[in-house]
Amino acid sequence: FIKETNLYPQDTDLDTLIKGKIESGEAYNKLVEMIEAQHGSLPIEIDNSLHICQIRSDKEGYINKINTLTLGNMLVGLGGGRKYKEQEINYDVGFSIHKKINDYVKENDLLFTVYSEKPLDESMINEFKNTIYTSNKKNETYKEIYKIL
């Protein structure tokens, strides 16, 4: 990801740069700063009672679009978001997306890891899969970074 931002010259040894930031504590301090900015605290407790579901591709091709609106609504359905401010948010549930636009996926590639309070049914799994649109060509109009401010 750092390489794709073009924030560092092409000849920069990114592995050394990253290891230096980790070893110096700079990366950890930034993590603490981000957590505190969101009124969180360390250590972060993990809920081990969650169900973990890995959702894999049943298609092959380039990812041209990801329906993020549907994904947001699905997060609300899992309890990790809310429609009304009075609703509680379960900060333990959610999902990780393992692919991005223009990635090439093969059948059985990992697309999502979902953390939920109860096992996902087949319709929910299919709904996750249906948020990914594939084609035999890359999306030429897509830009990952539009502008660095």
The answer, yes or no, to whether residue 104 has pLDDT greater than 80, is yes
Higher-confidence residue of 94 and 49: namely: 94
Q: Helix, strand, coil proportions of the chain in percent (round to 5)?
A: 30, 20, 50
Question: What is the pLDDT at residue 2?
Answer: 67
Pair type for strands 104-105 and 61-66: antiparallel
The answer, yes or no, to whether residue 47 has pLDDT greater than 70, is no
Question: What is the pLDDT at residue 46?
Answer: 66
Peptide bond between residue 9 and the one before it cis (omega within 30 degrees of 0) = no
Question: Region 68-89: what's the mean pLDDT?
Answer: 93
Question: What is the pLDDT at residue 7?
Answer: 76
| Mean pLDDT across the chain | 89
Higher-confidence residue of 145 and 19: namely: 19
pTM of the predicted model as reported, rounded to 2 decimal places: 0.67
The answer, yes or no, to whether residue 145 has pLDDT greater than 80, is no
Question: What is the pLDDT at residue 103?
Answer: 95
The answer, yes or no, to whether residue 35 has pLDDT greater than 80, is yes
Dihedral, CA of residue 126, residue 131, residue 136 and residue 138, to nearest 10: -160
